[in-house]
A and B are shown apart, each in its own frame.
Chain A
Amino acid sequence: MIILLGIAAGVLSHVGWFMSQRPCGANNLDCQLEWMKTELKLSDEQFARIKTIHEKSSPRLLALAAQVVRMRDEYDAFERERTTSGQVDFLEFAHFVEQRRAVDRECLTSTQQLVADATRVMTAQQRARYLGLLGPVLQGTGRSLLN
């Protein structure tokens, strides 16, 4: 009887603690912000401000991401046409390149703005940690998000 009670108590405490402490399961903005809060040890006030900043920028960034994907597909279509028919509509391609440059510029500006706004809320230590997370991304793309 006591053994059964012990096993039941152990299982209940295991499940209860695990369920109450398990991390956010989705990849949405709320989970990302919760992760930032834990990772950067943000205070409630900092968290609220950073949440506002991200909520303000994320619709624009998501729209830009969709545009980037669409333009990558368009580029693939150009490339397919070039390799299959050996012909390229240069006027159309020039227009595409111009559009792509505009989108790239807008992406960079939006990202820079978000990072700058977020880092302004953080302490020096939090900023260093945050930029450390973004650092390899900046190195990988060869761009600077902090102007």
Chain B
Amino acid sequence: MHPPSDPLDPLLDRWRETPELPPHLAAEVWRRIAVVESRAERPGLFARIEAAFTRPSFAVAFVAACMLLGLFLAEVRLSRLHAERGVQIAQSYLRLIDPLIDETAVNVAAHRP
């Protein structure tokens, strides 16, 4: 005697048919695993900067670069200041050596390169 047919039977029969695996499945799976792991291991920007500053050679180079930048900016300020002061001192010198000098002549002379 046959048991009554169950409507699930054809579906279960279909489920037993395993589909064909895509080619290179294992290789693809391992590739994806490697990608995820490498993402997890890669440090962030801050961590990389921190790591760089812990290296003595980088730290020394950074401090030296800061000093050179400070000196460069000081030199820029000084050259401008020297040019301005040069004009003022030239004017006062001309006034000292020639009491009769008029202001127009002083300004012309002091601004001359």
What's the Cα separation between A129 and B59 when bound, in Å? 48
> A5-13, A41-49, A74-82, A84-92: which lies at the B interface?
A5-13
Once the chains bind, are B82 and A68 in contact (CB under 8 Å)? no
Interface string of B84-113 (1 = CB under 8 A from A): 011011101111111111101110110010
Residues in chain A near residue B68, CB distance under 8 A? 13
> Among residues 45 to 101 in chain B, which have CB atoms less than 8 Å away from a CB atom of chain A?
53, 59, 62-63, 65-71, 73-75, 77-78, 81-82, 85-86, 88-90, 92-101
Interface of B is mostly: helix
Residue of chain B at shortest CB distance from A110: B99
**Least CB separation from A132: chain B residue:** B112
Q: How far is the CA of A68 from the CA of B67 in the complex (A)?
A: 52
Q: Are B78 and A32 in contact (CB under 8 A)?
A: no
Q: Is A61 an interface residue (CB 8 A)?
A: yes
Size class of the B contact interface (CB-based, 8 Å): 35 or more
Distance A115 CA – B97 CA, assembled complex (angstroms): 8
Residues on B with beta carbons closer than 8 Å to the beta carbon of A35: 85-86, 89-90, 93
Chain B residues, CB < 8 A from A108? 100
Do B105 and A22 have beta carbons less than 8 Å apart? no
Known A5-B63, A39-B86, A133-B90; contact A68-B99, beta-carbon cutoff 8 A: yes
Q: Is the CB of B59 within 8 A of A2?
A: yes
**Separation of A22 and B74 alpha carbons in the complex (Å):** 10
How far is B108's CA from A104's CA once the two chains are assembled, in angstroms?
A: 22
Contacts A9-B67, A24-B85, A140-B108 known; A111 to B74 CB distance under 8 Å?
A: no
By a beta-carbon cutoff of 8 Å, the part of chain A in contact with chain B is 2-3, 5-7, 9-15, 17-18, 21-25, 27, 29, 31-32, 35-36, 39, 57-58, 61-62, 64-65, 67-68, 104, 107-108, 111, 114-115, 132-137, 139-141, 145
- Which residues of B are at the interface with A, using a C-beta cutoff of 8 A? 53, 59, 62-63, 65-71, 73-75, 77-78, 81-82, 85-86, 88-90, 92-102, 104-106, 108-109, 112
